[in-house]
Amino acid sequence: MPTAPRDPQEEQLETLLREAHAALDRGDVRAGRETSQRILKAAEASGHQRFEARALLCLAHCDRMLSRYRRAHRASQRAVQLFQVLRDTSGEVMALSTHAFVSINLGRNEEAVEAALLSVRLSQFLEKDEHSVLSYNALGVAYFWSHSFEKAEQALRTAVQIAEQARPALSTFQPRVNQWWTEVIRVFYERYYVGALPALDQLRTLREAVLAVMAGGDRPSNGAGTHVTTEAVLLFGLALDQCWNGRIGQAQLDVDALSNWAQRYGTVTWLSALESWVRAEVAWARQDWQLAQQHAARMIDVAVEVEHEQLACLGHLLSSQLYVAQGRNGEALDELRRLRLREQLIRSDGLDTREKVVEWQVELRQRQQSVDRLELTSRQLEKLSLEDTLTGIPNRRNFELYAGELLRSGQGRGHPPCVALIDVDRFKQINDHHSHQVGDAVLKRIAQILKSHVREEDMAARLAGDEFVIVFKNAELRIAQQVCARIQAAVRSFDWGTIAAGLQSTISVGVAAAEPGDTVESLTHRSDQAMYAEKKRRR
């Protein structure tokens, strides 16, 4: 059956996107950015949201390569929102991973971890292993800059395993480079806290593993821009390794080579901050304190200029260590105070950006003409997480993703899924007569009871307020009802007086089994009706 002809403007935008990516591959980042901006303006004017999202993602990549992380942050955030509206999970995973990278460079650690975690979870609904590798790699980077080194290593190890087990095998270069980066940052902080360098064997082992991967032909993309960054970063690691092992002359030669690569962008980038870092370390090893302090200050200035807040913070810590090595403890404390001020500015900057995010979300709402789109864009105001922050169990979005997947793939295999909707009886009275703090404690306890009564393959989630839901993956309606009866008994028999004197709490439950053609909404609605019917009978 012949396919319908494509819109001529879509063909033109597709061609421009290929040109933008080709410019990035040959290292002409500025040309790629200009082309991406042309696509964005044309897509906004014509209402082509898919091209708008793809142009924003390309812009984020360009600005990230140019070390303009605030611009990249704005572009990646808007790309995430648009891909959500379009229900494009693949695009959303890539945009979230990019957003995690630029957020971490800006020092917004929690935002980066949230974006990377969501990217990992969403990638599990896709069939392409490269999405999972990309997501776990981003999660590892977010963790190690947040100083969660064990979690970082676990995430990056997972990325490597997925890449190696894929058919055909995928590149392990980026996660292996980031394993090495994890050790660099860990060594730096251990020296700061302990006062001396730890053993460097693991650092050397990880860097040699990267070189072995490259020698085996597993290299990054052939893009000139990527090649420049790769060569500079590897030289940085070599120079730092030489310096920390006392080979100062060789370290000086390596950092000079690093400088040559860093200058190839034709503008100041984060690579120049790496150069200043190593030069400060070399001067420290030679006990040239004045020169070392100058390079540490230069590292901070460059990092601030290119908006790499993580390196700016490392620069302050490096400067403080230099003062301590000279016995100038008062000046070391002053440097730490400047670090605390910078961290406060990072937090304030993050709050200001949230206001921009709200403006974009309102703009997206106004551009949707159907109720379905309005409901979808409203979810963009939710936190980028699949876990309920109060109770620690899955939240509404997690439930909808899981239940939707079961409805799409579970029909015809075993028993259809069942959904139980749960409501805390007279919850408003608990808040009014005791306190909202007690009410929160009740919700947490009920969440724990739900979790303890369901199987690993089932899901207990909090929808909102005092409403919970359970998804039974493969159970007869009768069995699901029996489990819910046991849950009601467990709630009823719990010693609520241990939370507040005179406190009592019960729940109402309605259960429904999936039927052919069911959606998450229709199945939940029938469960809701059953729950309210039970409330009416009990009253």
> Tens digit of pLDDT for each residue in 175-221?
999 999 999 999 999 999 888 899 999 988 998 888 888 887 776 55
Residue 414 reports pLDDT greater than 80 = no
Q: State which of 346, 379, 412 marks the end of a domain.
A: 379
Asked if residue 422 lies in contact with residue 508, where contact means CB atoms within 8 angstroms, the answer is yes
Helix and strand counts by DSSP (H, E) for the chain: 22, 4
Pair 365, 470 in one domain: no
Q: Do 245 and 358 belong to one domain?
A: yes
Asked if 52 and 43 count as a contact pair (C-beta separation under 8 A), the reply is: yes
Neighbour tally for 201: CB within 10 Å: 8
Q: Looking at the predicted structure, is the pLDDT value of residue 365 above 70?
A: no
CA 454 remoteness from chain centre: 29
Residues 410 and 521 occupy one common structural domain? yes
Count of other CB atoms within 10 angstroms of residue 324: 16
**Is residue 363 domain-shared with residue 436, that is, in the same domain?**
no
Output the average pLDDT for the chain.
87
Kindly state whether residues 347 and 481 are assigned to the same domain: no
Distance, CA of 232 to CA of 171 (rounded, Å): 20
Residue 369 and residue 241 in one domain: yes
pLDDT band at 37 (very low <50, low <70, confident <90, very high): very high
CATH number at residue 239: 1.25.40
Q: Is the pLDDT of residue 239 over 60?
A: yes
Identify whether 43 is part of a domain: no
pLDDT at 374: 45
The letter for the amino acid at 223 is G
94 neighbors 134 (Cβ within 8 angstroms): yes
Domain co-membership, 371 together with 400: no
User: Per the domain annotation, does 507 fall within a domain?
Assistant: yes
> According to the per-residue pLDDT averaged within each range, which of 132-141, 163-172, 403-412 is highest?
132-141
Of the three residues 379, 408, 429, the one that is the final residue of a domain is 379
Shared domain for 261 and 369, answered yes or no, is: yes
CA dist 390 and 444 (Å) reads 7
* Cα(164)–Cα(178) distance, integer angstroms: 16
What local confidence, expressed as pLDDT, does residue 486 receive? 95
Lowest-confidence range among 39-43, 132-136, 366-370? Answer: 366-370
Q: Which domain holds residue 227?
A: 220-379
Of 4-13, 43-52, 440-449, the range with the lowest mean pLDDT is 4-13
Asked which of 331, 353, 379 is the last residue of a domain, the reply is 379
For the cut 80, the answer to whether the pLDDT of residue 404 exceeds it is: yes
Please check whether residues 401 and 527 belong to one and the same domain. yes
Number of domains composing the chain: 2
Q: Are residues 373 and 403 in the same domain?
A: no
In the prediction, which pLDDT does 369 show?
Answer: 47
Is 136 domain-assigned? no
